[in-house]
Amino acid sequence: MIKNWKTWTLALATIGLLASCSEEEKTNNIDVPTSYSFTREGVSTVSFGGQSTRIAMAEEIVAAMKDNTLTAESIQSMFAHVEGADDFSDPDLNASDKSVKSKTAASIDFYANDAVAKAAFQSLMDGYISSQVEEVYPNWETLAAAGTSGYIFDGTTARYVNGDGLEYNQMFAKSLIGALMADQIINNYLSPAKLDAGTNVSDNDAGTVIEGKSYTTMEHYWDEGYGYLFGASQDAANPLATLGDDSFLNKYLASVDGDSDFAGIADDVFEAFILGRAAIVAGEYDIRDEQAEILREKISLVIAVRAVHYLQGGKAALEAQSMGAAFHELSEGLGFINSLQFTRKPGTDAPYFEASKVEDWITQLLEGNGFWEVSTETLDSISEEIAAEFGFTVSQAAN
């Protein structure tokens, strides 16, 4: 099913009303499907298998961080998988030449000229794995206390924390949402530096496809961005009916969309992906880039809302003296805070918060005995600063 999405005019963008036609006006007629389905000569041109593979790998890595029979080396090998290595339970993942680590903190806009920062963040992620094995696994049967790693109950569920009350597996998983999913989408595959590189524009204009494929390079790059959000969906062409099909960005897009203060964000994201892809087919690159800006804003917002949501959830649990619940919420929140450095202010080349600011907040939250003694004033102060930068209120995100 196709709907005709038309009438963007340069004149409208300038004067805000539809004037009579003139030679300077350019009307864009773009056929926009209602699902993420695009074909060329009857063959689908949509492909994002590598992204689906990395999401599946990430699921197994996070699960492995709760298996105290494993070594740090074995989990780190999953993270930095090499084709043919027997790292995963799924043979297809073992046969893949993809790895999660190679695309973590690896976008063209933020890291192409900063190999030091890329290596430092990847080392940080490796460190969460080794710390889980070296600090937490040995105390799997020990009741956690301030300064002592071990288990702590959140209701009837045992959480495994370090001496600061931090769950490394949650820190790893929520950091990956920014460092892999968001960074690859908004700072890499939607970047003009990637989309327009080399002969991509002229090839796309001419309909020149990649050898042996049905799609142009530009089409494929846009699809790869889409795949980091919807690549694990039951129906990737119509993914909104089953949002939450993976444990990463997809899940938290659903969470934010389910908050009445942010309802509709999932539709906005899906429609921007479709229109941007249709604009590539039509060769309308200004409209493509407008959709990329929408996606940068909306995906960044998801990370910010969840960071504040979990800080406030942790605060409420601390006030109720429910320490296991508080530590779980704060661990998730800390991971989302870590992800804020991969967000992107629309119209700029910068994140909403630089890495140095993120590191400062993490230091504040973990100083002394960490979550065992963090103050509600600190949680409120960080929440307010994040919310203000994104233009929402703490109470809106706390729902």
pLDDT in tens, the chain (399 residues): 444 444 443 333 333 333 333 333 333 689 999 999 999 999 999 999 999 999 999 999 999 999 999 999 999 999 999 999 999 999 999 999 999 999 999 999 999 999 999 999 999 999 999 999 999 999 999 999 999 999 999 999 999 999 999 999 999 999 999 999 999 999 999 999 999 999 999 999 999 999 999 999 999 999 999 999 999 999 999 999 999 999 999 999 999 999 999 999 999 999 999 999 999 999 999 999 999 999 999 999 999 999 999 999 999 999 999 999 999 999 999 999 999 999 999 899 999 999 999 999 999 999 999 999 999 999 999 999 999 999 999 999 998
Per-residue pLDDT at 127: 98
Per-residue pLDDT at 29: 81
Per-residue pLDDT at 329: 98
Q: Give residues with Cβ within 8 angstroms of 391, minimum separation 6.
A: none
Amino acid identity at 244: G
Q: How far is residue 86's CA from residue 118's CA, in Å, rounded to a whole number?
A: 26
Among the listed residues 258, 255, 294, the one whose alpha carbon sits nearest the alpha carbon of residue 275: 294
